[in-house]
Structure 1
Amino acid sequence: MCWLAGTAMIAAVPAAAQDPKAPVIPPVASLTDGMWMKGDLHLHSRHSTDSSNNPVSAIIGFAERNGFDFLAITDHDNHVQGDVASHTWRDPEFRSDRVVLLYGAEWTTDRGHGNIFSARPYDHQKLYDLRDARDAKILAAKQTLGVHLSANHPAAGKDHFGFSYDMVDSIEIWNSAVWPRNAATLLIWDDMLRSGRKIAGRGGSDSHHGVPPSPDKATRNSAEATANYVGTPTTWVFAKARTPAAVVEALTNGRACVSANPRGPRVEFYGDRDGDGQMDMMMGDNVRASGKPVHFVVKLTGGVVANASYRVLVIRDGQPFGEFEAKGEAPVASFEDSPAADTRSYYRVQVEGPQTPYPEVPNSMPLSGKMVGLSNPIFFNFDPEF
């Protein structure tokens, strides 16, 4: 294993030099066809009765002013008896020419909470009416509706996700600016990944209130009320187009990462399967392992703190694999491993370091601690045919 810092170049022997007859490994489509977009996938407006000072126009206006690319306003469905279409979606303020808006809601049940994401309006009432049904019936309805189901805050006590994880497309691995209460969620996620479930990880601020006051003007003690707003944390997706369908598709396929806030560095995670120094896969991708070494690269893009050193922790199959340093204006870390040809394996990344200031929501920074960002995994042999 090795690590590199401050450079994007990887020292590798070209495949052709190793074997002149070696076939060129083409990059997967996700690596060469897309754009990075940032957003928030868990927000509550005035249509949730436990929300305050947070009209739809305020949420979208804040996102537009601060350069967000997409949003999912996910109001509680039980507050409107399942009829989110007549409330959040038909609110005249639910529109934007600059931010991609997803259709969704927080599926709020006695067995836990989940967020629904869709590129188009769907009949949410059908899911609300099945909130106490058996998992198989819920899964069938979800598939018929063609929506994305995400498990919300799965380690959050009474509101943890209590349904089968065979139903879900993603897990909320980072809920709100308060990082420490999310650590247990990573254990759940790794359990699901080790079992062979290819489930994406995402973030969500779970904001219920208006723009928080600055630290010297805070009048409420609740961390939620004073530190959470759009982008705490921020989910990034590598989407094929700037459309709702492309955002949902990228999230579903794990082409996504999470950062503490939109001003902080984005964690990009790539793999080079033939050693030619060119990345040919990225997080979310799943390929057949050859048993030969794979060169992995972690890049921290944009928003890095000057002269900072970042700790890059690599997790392989739920266990620590290695720690690496990344620093400089464009921090990079690299390592090498040989995924087994005959078993499933995955690699994911956690990044710790100083928080990049988020002046619009200043109270969020100390609550995130040292956690700067999380990647989705790169997978090997996860498809049944492997």
Structure 2
Amino acid sequence: MTTIAPTSESLLSVRGQVSPVLHVPYLYHEFEVPDGATTLTVSLRFHKKRRCQLFLSVFGPMNYRGTRMNPGGVGDIHLELTFGAHSASPGALAGLIEPGRWRAQIDVESTEETAEYFLTVAAGFGESPTQTSPDPVTVNGRPGAGWYRGELHAHTHHSDGRPTPGELAGAARRAGLDFVALTDHFTPAGWAEIDHHAGPDLAVIHSLELTGHRGHANLHGLNGWVDVFVDDPAKEWTVNDVARGVRDQGGVFCVNHAFSNSLGWQYHEFDWSLCGAFEIYHHLEGPNNAAQLIFWDGLLRAGHRITGVAGTDSHDPLAGRHRLGQVTTVINARNLTPAGLIDGVRKHRAYVSLGPELTFAAECGGERADMGGELVLPGGHASPCRVRLLVEVGNLAHPTRLFVMKNGLYHTHLDLAASAAPVQLEVLDPNPGPGYYRLEAYARAPQSGFSGGREWQNTLLLSNPIFIRGES
């Protein structure tokens, strides 16, 4: 029997240059793939001395096929995407190599130097590797309403993270998490793999991180890829269109690390009514968290009901500040499933925790609202109805100062001793009005006489609001 060796054919070989003087957001190079190709390799090489952020993406005749990036590297950079019918390199989506017009896109996120790049494309011909039957997909979560803690911002080797999707899921289990969102930059290439590591003890959420030139956002709860490339002025596709696309899929658009200097949110044309969540605590952002909290209050006061969430932004889930479990978003969901969790975020039934547990409700005139809900103040009384805030805080590993915030301003605070047992508290507001209440808790030195206490580095707990509306 004669075996025919696979052959290859060069489809594109081009040199180009990027420069901070003549900056363009994207460079496009099209190439024609002939009939019969079974593999495709797209390679981008360049040298950078300091900051030159080039990302490689590939599009087939009908759809997006993958992205490769190495934002932290210096020296000789090699980005490569390999596609086959049943296998693909990290960041790439497996599938048939369609004949026709393909496009390589170089995303010039930023550059402080002039750099030459070399882009090549090669097609392979021959028998495709035999398709192996994947393991059966496990159950993704479990029934039952409850409070579930997890991670909403984590990366794998399909973008710029260290772990595989399986390793990320394993680290989430070791951290005792109930859910994890896979938020690789640009690409959904890890979704199918991490699905095989879900189970009744761990729900996995399909997400992407929009990695724009003027800010980042997580697109949570997707069932398909959304075009995340929003920086070409010649292309009628904006960040608002992305947010609408996420909403149309039943997902939540979440603005990330909004005050992260050059990676902060600079899409000033963004329609905040399309925003479902906002990172009020980012584990890598340090004092920028204080600014994020203040800005979120401004959005709430303007009438935008946006859910505050946390993000580790983990790139190595077992190491240092990237280790999972140090900060979590705790979501009250009808079940531990991606849809249930996304619904809980959408309804503001969530809080940020670095350890403590929380129950938060408000009562007035015989009516009650839990965190995320709305309390309507009754009218027609000779004396105004007092609002009672009912708080239960548990698992306090440190002496704690608990703040009650009203419409983003200080209302009152209570000092609590360290206690593993739940502590029940009641706070009265004799002069309520339309707006919202929320809670903050910070670790406090036991003998401290300091009258402040809202230092970001001591954050233990940030609740979402209970909204207050006057009777119409």
Aligned partner (choices 259, 264, 272) of residue 363 of structure 2 = 272
Aligned partner (choices 228, 231, 240) of residue 128 of structure 1 = 228
For structure 1, list consecutive stretches of 5 or more residues without a partner in the other structure.
1-32, 78-83, 213-225, 356-366
Cα 1:135–1:61 change in 2 (3 A) is closer
Match of 1:363 in 2: none
Match of 1:28 in 2: none
Cα 1:141–1:62 change in 2 (3 A) is closer
2:281–2:289 Cα contact (<8 Å) kept: yes
Deviation at 1:92, TM superposition (A): 6.1
Match of 2:422 in 1: 330
Match of 2:146 in 1: 35
Cα 1:273–1:59 change in 2 (3 A) is same
Structure 1 residue 296 and structure 2 residue 374: aligned? no
SS at match of 2:336: coil
Pairs within 5 Å for 1:78-227: 84-85=187-188, 87-91=189-193, 94-97=196-199, 98-118=201-221, 121-124=223-226, 127-130=227-230, 132=232, 133-161=237-265, 162=267, 163-176=270-283, 179-212=286-319, 226-227=320-321
2:176–2:325 Cα contact (<8 Å) kept: no
Cα distance in 1 for partners of 2:424, 2:458 equals: 18
Cα distance in 1 for partners of 2:285, 2:239 equals: 31
TM-score, with normalisation over the residues of structure 2? 0.60
Cα distance in 2 for partners of 1:312, 1:324 equals: 5
Greater helix fraction, Structure 1 or Structure 2: 1
Deviation at 1:137, TM superposition (A): 3.3
Cα 1:294–1:340 change in 2 (3 A) is closer
Cα 1:139–1:106 change in 2 (3 A) is closer
1:153–1:160 Cα contact (<8 Å) kept: yes
1:273–1:293 Cα contact (<8 Å) kept: yes
1:88–1:94 Cα contact (<8 Å) kept: no
1:177–1:233 Cα contact (<8 Å) kept: no
Cα 1:143–1:242 change in 2 (3 A) is closer
2:145–2:334 Cα contact (<8 Å) kept: yes
SS at match of 1:314: strand
SS at match of 2:412: strand
1:176–1:204 Cα contact (<8 Å) kept: yes
Match of 1:71 in 2: 180
- Amino acid in the other structure paired with 1:311: R
What are the superposed Cα offsets for residues 53-94 of structure 1, whole Å, 9 maximum, x if unpaired?
x222221112223321111010111xxxxxx23x11133675
SS at match of 1:121: coil
Match of 1:350 in 2: 440
1:354–1:372 Cα contact (<8 Å) kept: no
2:368–2:375 Cα contact (<8 Å) kept: no
TM-score, with normalisation over the residues of structure 1? 0.73
Cα distance in 1 for partners of 2:425, 2:353 equals: 17
Match of 1:281 in 2: 369
SS at match of 2:389: strand
1:326–1:333 Cα contact (<8 Å) kept: no
Match of 2:350 in 1: 256
Whichever of the two has the greater Rg, that structure is: 2
Deviation at 1:47, TM superposition (A): 1.1
Which structure is richer in relative contact order (CA contacts within 8 A, separation 6 or more)?
1
SS at match of 1:47: coil
- Amino acid in the other structure paired with 1:47: H
1:204–1:231 Cα contact (<8 Å) kept: no
SS at match of 1:248: helix
Aligned partner (choices 219, 236, 260) of residue 330 of structure 2 = 236
Cα distance in 2 for partners of 1:198, 1:229 equals: 30
Cα distance in 2 for partners of 1:155, 1:92 equals: 30
1:107–1:113 Cα contact (<8 Å) kept: yes
Cα 1:293–1:210 change in 2 (3 A) is closer
- Amino acid in the other structure paired with 1:142: V
Cα 1:159–1:310 change in 2 (3 A) is same
Identity %: 26
